[in-house]
Structure 1
Amino acid sequence: MELGSPESFDRMGTLGVEEEFYVVDEEGRPVAGVDDLVYGEDEPPEPLAGRIDHELFKFTVETQTPLIEEPSEASASLRAVRDALV
């Protein structure tokens, strides 16, 4: 089944969180080169595997949490994704 296909929407009320981070240098200037992070030879660690990409600009990284079953799990899921990103 392909992601985004009608078959993947088999239930209502799913929850996930998407965040975008701007990668900057010590001076706060945008830094290109997130390709290594997103498309490097090594797979990103869990829970980032398959859930990290760059946006239009190469200094913006987008992450997504895994499917969150209960809203009370959102905070822990966000922390896990952020910890893996760092």
Structure 2
Amino acid sequence: MDCFHEGPNFLVIDPEECIDCTLCVPECPAEAIFAEDDVPEEQRRFIAINAELAKEWPVIVERMEPLADADEWNHKPDKLKYLQRS
């Protein structure tokens, strides 16, 4: 499956490739993946961001270890301002 794409400091899921099987949901250590119908209202804007950036960023083909500071960022609010698009 070529759903996941990696940017400088962010991962996205290509909504065109994702078949909404939810197999990745329990694998996400940040609990940041939802079936499309279950995306919380305050996070729905990320669907469009994922679609846009998946067209630009390379596909991830192997599972990777979390970044060293991943736990610091987990559940931190207002992270969108730190998104690096290139």
The normalised TM-score by structure 1 is: 0.22
Q: Which has the higher strand share?
A: 1
Q: Which has the higher helix share?
A: 2
The normalised TM-score by structure 2 is: 0.22
Which structure exhibits the higher relative contact order, with contacts defined as CA atoms closer than 8 Å and separated by 6 or more residues? 2
Structure of greater Rg: 1
